[in-house]
């Protein structure tokens, strides 16, 4: 079944966020670097205890105060509570809001800058979740940016703060700094050589969490993994940025070595896998989002290993998001069921690779 | 209540918090000891993440009676009980961190391996906002008391509370409304 969709979100379908540009340091393996801070107002209950009126008051208070904060960049405020489900899903696919924020109830919103580097989620699990996302390995750049945004908002908003516990959050797992530092890595060679589980077990031993592409609770798709800190109290923000930052070069080294191994020892096999993936993406008549992600991942590795020419990495990165269900439907301007989406996705991919 | 591992009476009630997920365990003395040794000894299976204390117990070794008393303790501001927090895994308001400080301490120590913030502090700028936000947080309790007074048709009390609320709002937020 199909019907015409409203067009307000068209601008989103014509561009991609800065984090997908594939331009930052080590961007062959590190897709993006993200820092988020959890903050709450001192004079309202946390969200799970807030009444409908509280949520409305929190949303209005934060919306008005954020508008007056000298952030040095223009932000567009989107009233998420009044968006259609598909538009909310679009924001999730672009990593501008979380799945929980999209599916929540009541007054809530998000303020986004033009480059889609900064996003301020209002009434998520905490009253305010600030996020900065950069392309490639740039945790320090993301931290510096979010530090300034947080500082400016903190001057006009009474953040809940406790002498001993630091910034107070709805869940004690975030208390203290309220910081979550994460990098999204593309690790296909570690997956193919079956070393990925061993790597993840080592990460868990040093208090780092591993998640899929779309955050908490999401499964890893297409060999993309998010590595982030688990603890938020007892160390400074800079130390926590370092904790994640220190492990990334090690993971990059493992992945590079695994890629070299694949080329050296199983050259024909890898070339065959990559070429087949490319072949399917160019010719399939119907294809799921999961299979697309998996094949794009293999093609991305093939391009970086020099096995495929004439394919642009930024375009591949962009396709990872643009072949997601909400993007596909917004690009086509019609609502589609799963079966029709798979047909449209295949058509879209053929156009791009044709 | 029976132990989840055998037919004996459960005397240990343990709440675990794993990245926001709450899990309750009700165990007899023998199984509780085995469980606690396993989570503290670091000798667990390979699949058990051992870092960060995230899989460690939230409250350790409380008897059912102690836990029952603790569960009834409620926040003066938002009214959430410790029982509600244990079930939900989310606190009710900023004051809970003061109200339940003693109870939260072992939990937070387990999750973070630390109990004191050493990071940044809010720069309140020239707004005159206090660094400690306790007075602002008292608004949560005052609003609740006002609603209760209205429900009891005690309008004189409600009016007094409303004036107190306005005073605090004007002092710290520069507005009569939040």
Q: Print burial letters for B105-134: b (CB count within 10 Å at least 16), e (below 16).
A: ebbbebbbbbbebebbebebeeeebbeebb
Are the Cβ atoms of B136 and A43 closer than 8 angstroms? Answer: yes
Per-residue model confidence as pLDDT tens digits over A308-318: 988 888 889 99
Q: What is the pLDDT of residue A3?
A: 45
Q: Does B80 touch chain A (CB under 8 A)?
A: yes
Among A96, A156, A78, A85, residue whose Cα is nearest residue A132: A96
Per-residue model confidence as pLDDT tens digits over A250-281: 999 999 999 999 999 998 999 999 999 999 99
Are the Cβ atoms of A156 and B125 closer than 8 angstroms? Answer: yes
| A204 compared with A75, residue with greater pLDDT | A75
Q: Does B150 touch chain A (CB under 8 A)?
A: no
Q: What mean pLDDT is predicted for residues B140-157?
A: 95
Q: What is the pLDDT of residue B57?
A: 45
User: What is the value of pTM for the model shown?
Assistant: 0.85
Q: What mean pLDDT is predicted for residues A163-192?
A: 96
Q: What mean pLDDT is predicted for residues B47-54?
A: 32
- Rounded to a whole number of angstroms, the distance from the CA of A153 to the nearest CA of chain B is 9
**Does B3 score more than 60 pLDDT?**
yes
Are the Cβ atoms of B108 and A45 closer than 8 angstroms? Answer: no
Q: What mean pLDDT is predicted for residues A126-140?
A: 96
Are the Cβ atoms of A49 and B104 closer than 8 angstroms? Answer: no
**Does A130 score more than 60 pLDDT?**
yes
Q: What mean pLDDT is predicted for residues A188-210?
A: 90
Per-residue model confidence as pLDDT tens digits over A18-27: 777 777 889 9
Q: What is the pLDDT of residue A148?
A: 96
Nearest to B97 among A154, A168, A173 (CB): A168
Q: What is the pLDDT of residue B6?
A: 77
Per-residue model confidence as pLDDT tens digits over A222-258: 899 999 999 999 999 999 999 999 999 999 999 999 9
Q: Does A205 touch chain B (CB under 8 A)?
A: yes
Q: What is the pLDDT of residue B27?
A: 75
- Rounded to a whole number of angstroms, the distance from the CA of A110 to the nearest CA of chain B is 20
Instruction: Report residue B175's pLDDT band, with 50, 70 and 90 as the boundaries.
Output: low
Instruction: Report residue B71's pLDDT band, with 50, 70 and 90 as the boundaries.
Output: confident
**A161, A180, A237, A242: best mutation site toward chain B, by most B Cβ within 10 Å?**
A161
- Residue in B closest to A164 by C-alpha: B116
Q: What is the pLDDT of residue B1?
A: 67
Are the Cβ atoms of A164 and B126 closer than 8 angstroms? Answer: no
Q: What is the pLDDT of residue B177?
A: 43
Chain B residues in contact with A151 (beta carbon < 8 A): 123
Instruction: Report residue B22's pLDDT band, with 50, 70 and 90 as the boundaries.
Output: low
Q: How far apart are the first and last CA of chain A?
A: 28
Q: What is the pLDDT of residue A222?
A: 81
Instruction: Report residue B42's pLDDT band, with 50, 70 and 90 as the boundaries.
Output: very low
Q: What mean pLDDT is predicted for residues A118-142?
A: 97
Instruction: Report residue B4's pLDDT band, with 50, 70 and 90 as the boundaries.
Output: confident
What is the average pLDDT score of chain B? 77
Please report the residues numbered 184 through 203 in chain A whose beta carbons come closer than 8 angstroms to any beta carbon of chain B: 201
Cβ-in-10-Å burial (0-12, 13-18, 19+) of A115 comes to middle
DSSP for A27-41, written as a single string: TTTEEEEEEEEEE-B
Q: What is the pLDDT of residue A9?
A: 67
Are the Cβ atoms of A155 and B94 closer than 8 angstroms? Answer: no
- Rounded to a whole number of angstroms, the distance from the CA of B24 to the nearest CA of chain A is 17
Chain B residues in contact with A47 (beta carbon < 8 A): 90
- Rounded to a whole number of angstroms, the distance from the CA of B6 to the nearest CA of chain A is 31
Instruction: Report residue B28's pLDDT band, with 50, 70 and 90 as the boundaries.
Output: confident
Q: Are A138 and A24 in contact (CB under 8 A)?
A: yes
Q: What is the pLDDT of residue B41?
A: 38
CA distance A37 to B169: 26
Q: Does B111 touch chain A (CB under 8 A)?
A: yes
Among B72, B88, B91, residue whose Cα is nearest residue B22: B88
**B120, B123, B124, B151: best mutation site toward chain A, by most A Cβ within 10 Å?**
B120
CA distance A34 to A206: 19
Chain A residues in contact with B123 (beta carbon < 8 A): 151, 154-155
Q: What is the pLDDT of residue A127?
A: 98
Chain B residues in contact with A177 (beta carbon < 8 A): 117, 119-120
Q: What mean pLDDT is predicted for residues B44-61?
A: 37
Are the Cβ atoms of A167 and B115 closer than 8 angstroms? Answer: no
Count other C-beta atoms under 10 Å from residue B70's C-beta: 17
What is the average pLDDT score of chain A? 91
**Does A6 score more than 80 pLDDT?**
no
**Does B26 score more than 60 pLDDT?**
yes
Interface confidence, given as ipTM, is 0.89
Q: Does A53 touch chain B (CB under 8 A)?
A: no
Q: What is the pLDDT of residue B40?
A: 41
Among A171, A16, A188, A27, residue whose Cα is nearest residue A95: A16
| A281 compared with A74, residue with greater pLDDT | A281
Please report the residues numbered 113 through 142 in chain B whose beta carbons come closer than 8 angstroms to any beta carbon of chain A: 113-127, 129, 131-133, 136-137, 139-140
Q: What mean pLDDT is predicted for residues B120-128?
A: 80
């Amino acid at each position: 079944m199909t019907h015409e969709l409203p067009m307000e979100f068209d601008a989103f379908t014509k561009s991609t966020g800065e984090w997908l540009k594939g331009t930052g340091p080590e961007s062959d393996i590190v897709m993006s670097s993200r820092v988020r801070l959890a903050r709450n107002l001192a004079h309202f209950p946390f969200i799970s205890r807030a009444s409908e009126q509280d949520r409305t008051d929190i949303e209005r208070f934060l919306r008005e105060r954020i508008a007056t904060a000298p952030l040095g960049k223009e932000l567009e405020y989107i009233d998420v509570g009044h968006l259609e489900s598909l538009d909310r899903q679009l924001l999730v696919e672009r990593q501008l809001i979380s799945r929980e924020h999209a599916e929540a109830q009541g007054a809530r919103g998000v303020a986004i800058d033009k480059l889609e580097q900064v996003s301020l989620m209002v009434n998520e699990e905490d009253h305010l979740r600030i996020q900065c996302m950069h392309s490639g390995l740039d945790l320090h750049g993301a931290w510096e940016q979010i530090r300034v945004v947080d500082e400016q908002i903190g001057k006009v908003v009474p953040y809940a703060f406790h002498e001993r516990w630091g910034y107070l959050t709805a869940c004690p797992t975030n208390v203290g700094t309220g910081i979550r530092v994460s990098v999204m890595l593309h690790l296909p060679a570690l997956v193919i050589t079956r070393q990925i589980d061993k790597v993840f077990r080592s990460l868990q031993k040093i208090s780092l969490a591993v998640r899929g592409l779309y955050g908490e609770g999401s499964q890893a798709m297409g060999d993309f993994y998010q590595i982030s800190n688990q603890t938020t109290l007892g160390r400074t923000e800079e130390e926590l940025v370092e904790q994640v930052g220190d492990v990334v070069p090690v993971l990059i080294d493992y992945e590079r070595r695994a890629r070299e191994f694949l080329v050296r020892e199983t050259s024909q096999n890898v070339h065959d896998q990559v070429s087949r993936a490319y072949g399917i993406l160019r010719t399939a008549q119907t294809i799921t989002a999961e299979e697309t992600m998996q094949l794009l991942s293999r093609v991305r590795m093939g391009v970086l290993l020099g096995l495929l020419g004439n394919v642009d990495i930024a375009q591949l990165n962009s396709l990872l998001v643009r072949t997601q269900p909400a993007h596909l439907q917004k690009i086509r301007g019609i609502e589609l069921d799963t079966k029709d989406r798979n047909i449209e996705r295949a058509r879209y991919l053929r156009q791009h690779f044709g | 209540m029976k132990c989840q591992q055998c037919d004996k009476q459960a005397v240990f009630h343990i709440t675990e918090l794993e990245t926001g997920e709450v899990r309750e365990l009700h165990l007899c003395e023998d199984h509780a000891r085995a469980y606690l040794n396993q989570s503290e000894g670091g000798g667990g299976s390979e699949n058990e993440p051992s870092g960060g204390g995230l899989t460690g117990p939230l409250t350790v070794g409380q008897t059912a009676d102690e836990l029952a008393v603790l569960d009834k303790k409620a926040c003066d501001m938002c009214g959430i009980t410790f029982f509600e927090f244990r079930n939900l895994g989310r606190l009710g308001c900023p004051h809970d961190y003061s109200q339940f400080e003693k109870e939260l301490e072992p939990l937070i120590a387990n999750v973070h391996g630390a109990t004191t913030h050493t990071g940044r502090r809010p720069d309140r700028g020239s707004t005159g906002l206090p660094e400690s936000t306790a007075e602002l947080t008292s608004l949560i309790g005052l609003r609740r008391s006002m609603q209760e007074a209205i429900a009891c048709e005690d309008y004189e009390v409600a009016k007094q509370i409303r004036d107190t609320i306005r005073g605090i709002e004007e002092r710290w937020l520069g507005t009569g409304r939040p």
